[in-house]
Amino acid sequence: MRRRVVVTGAGCVTPLGGNVAEVWEGLTEGRSGIGPITLFDASDLPIRIAAEVRNWDLSDVGEDPDAWQTHPRQTAFAVGAAIQAVRSAGLEEARLDPLRLGVYLGCGETYQDFFQFAQWTSAAARNGPFEQLRFLEAVLREEHADAGLQFELNMPAHLLAGVFNAQGPNLNCTATCVSSAQAIGEATETIRRGQADVMLAGGAHSMIHPFGVSGFHRLAVLSEHNDAGPKAMRPFDRDRNGFVIGEGGAILVLESLEHAQRRGAEIWGELTGYGSTHDAFRLTDADPGARGATTCIARALHDAWLHPDEIDYVNAHGTSTKLNDKVETLAIKQAFGPRAYDLPISSTKSMMGHLTTACGAIETLVSLMVVRSGAVPPTINYETSDPECDLDYVPNCTRELPCRHALSNSLGFGGQNAALIVSRFDERTGPGVSCCAV
């Protein structure tokens, strides 16, 4: 019999706030974190809006920001979210076997931080050839070697291992927008297999920099409605025209049920289902028939041993692009049949923007909060219905709804898909018998 995996803590840093309570309040109030770009001068770019993390730094969790100033923004987000998660789970006081504590993150590119490295090297160059040689000598002596290593995608997971003495499995998933959802799913499997008792799982990312913004713009997936500001991101609306890039991070503490109960931990919910597929269609486009996304949902249902009618809420990937929203709507219809038309579905990206590799982690946390609270956050800016997107997207206002099982969808660029199911914890019941076809 497989081990059950529960959530015992969580933390996050997003454009709506620097902790779970702030973010949940912002979501249920329908607030937007989208505004003008301030992290760099975007005045000459066609895209001048983003969902930035504002008025937050590591001092909010008791860390010295100066000690982390040379690290990428995503590292600060990961550390801040992880410290919150560990504290909320009571792990600081727990007697943990470090070999049974692991980290699995979904973090991505950090191109913006190469600008800082370039400034260091160019400053040395401006001071003449001897200063250049001294800088090179220092790099070779490894005095500055960590400056380059900090840009590696696995560095946040590596650093969290050091902060929390996590000597168990340590991995980073890089699968575009699915990265952190897949990291949570694979961390769940790690605990189920008995390779760890506790995993810090989630992700962090920031691509709000000239390379990131211009790159996504060249792919024609960003909204150019700069003057619309908070109303620019409008998932499933007929007049949607692309997403607004965001940033942030979220970390969940995943734990085997036995381990959590043994130490008397508060259980927030249970990770009951995980599915992963690939469209194998095109590098840039989702399969228009939603084959991969449909199968992914079905696999998550099968893994949770749930019938489609037992899902009470779907947190959609909902990127506000023409193709993605249409394909995801089709996938939900194909996976749930007639039940699809009765399912409350919302895209919280409408308020936080698209957090790229970190989006799956924060949206899994949102799904968990729906299960805990019985409140479904809205899809804001939904004004005009689209005949190809004709489901219940919880438009503009939070809805009270008892929720036993929630599905979080992630549909990544290039055809990668992941689906996670979080459930209200009931120690008397485990997974039942599946009647879902895969």
User: Position of tokens 């692991």?
Assistant: 102
- Nearest C-alpha neighbor of 406 from the set 268, 287, 288: 268
- Residue whose C-alpha is closest to residue 423's, from 99, 73, 7, 3: 7
Which of 107, 173, 177, 359 is catalytic? The answer is 177
Nearby residues of 69 by Cβ (< 8 Å), 6 or more positions away? none
Query: Which position among 71, 144, 259, 354 bears the catalytic label?
Result: 354
- For residue 3, how many other CB atoms are within 10 A of its CB? 15
Using the Cα atoms of residue 211, residue 409, residue 412 and residue 162 in order, give the sign of their dihedral.
Answer: positive
Pick from 362, 266, 373, 366: nearest CA to 9: 266
**From 225, 259, 317, 405, the catalytic residue:** 317
383, amino acid identity: E
- Do residues 31 and 351 make contact, with C-beta atoms less than 8 angstroms apart? yes
Q: Single out the residue of 235, 252, 251 nearest to residue 243, CA to CA.
A: 235
> Is 317 annotated as catalytic?
yes
- Among the listed residues 44, 17, 20, the one whose alpha carbon sits nearest the alpha carbon of residue 33: 17
Helix (H) or strand (E) holding 206: strand 198-206
Residue identified by tokens 């206002």 is: 397
Encoded amino acid at 49, one letter = I
How is residue 2 annotated by DSSP?
P
Residues 328/419, Cβ–Cβ less than 8 Å: no
Q: Which helix (H) or strand (E) holds 315?
A: strand 313-315
Q: CB of 179 within 8 A of CB of 173?
A: yes
Cα(41)–Cα(426) distance, integer angstroms = 51
Active site residues: 177, 317, 354
